[in-house]
A and B are shown apart, each in its own frame.
Chain A
């Protein structure tokens, strides 16, 4: 199994609070991704990183920010959570065009 860990695995929080999700890898892969999964939408890319401090937006980046201060960690932050951000969040890693390997997901509920 690819060494990728997401934390927390579950979180319930209130609207307006900040939330940070962590993705940690032990594979030393350059590329890391954050997706959200919602019924009827499949997986949609939020942000991705192609190196330390190198990040870019995906298709649904509004309301989200990311940081990557070291190769192994990629953080996703919801500055002020809204109910529309209730979702399952997946982190993925890959050596570019190779298959992405996914973490086990974080189920986030915003009340």
Chain B
């Protein structure tokens, strides 16, 4: 069965510390996509990154970086030199094709709440 596990319910760090958010997924498909979303205290969901199953290259965007490892079914997210504005709930998600309707099925993890303290 498809599943996304974010084992870290809540993490607290002091500003400028690096922090890694873990995401482990399960799927039987060879073609799938992985996503990270951010939900700040204001409540909206903001897309951060998409990675397809055939691209294991790590991605860096400013202070954010993502490590995709198919061997361990993980798609971890690291924030370098964290800032108070990074405080949010972060969701990892998996999408894979449905056998019917031609659409993709999205499965979300339960989220990790990150608190960055000044």
Contact = CB atoms under 8 A, between A and B. Distances in A.
B108 A104 contact: no
Contact of A54 (B95, B101, B109): B101
A98 B104 CA distance: 9
**Range, interface on chain A:** 20 to 34
Interface residues of B, number: 24
Interface string B76-102: 000000000000000101010100111
A41 B110 contact: yes
A74 interface: no
Contacts, number: 51
B43 A105 contact: yes
Contacts of A44: 108
A40 B9 CA distance: 8
Report, nearest first, the 5 A-B pairs whose CB atoms are least far apart.
A102-B45, A42-B110, A43-B108, A99-B47, A42-B108
Given A42-B6, A43-B108, A105-B44, 14 more contacts: A31-B104, A33-B106, A40-B110, A41-B110, A42-B110, A43-B93, A50-B103, A92-B45, A96-B103, A97-B104, A99-B35, A102-B44, A102-B45, A105-B43
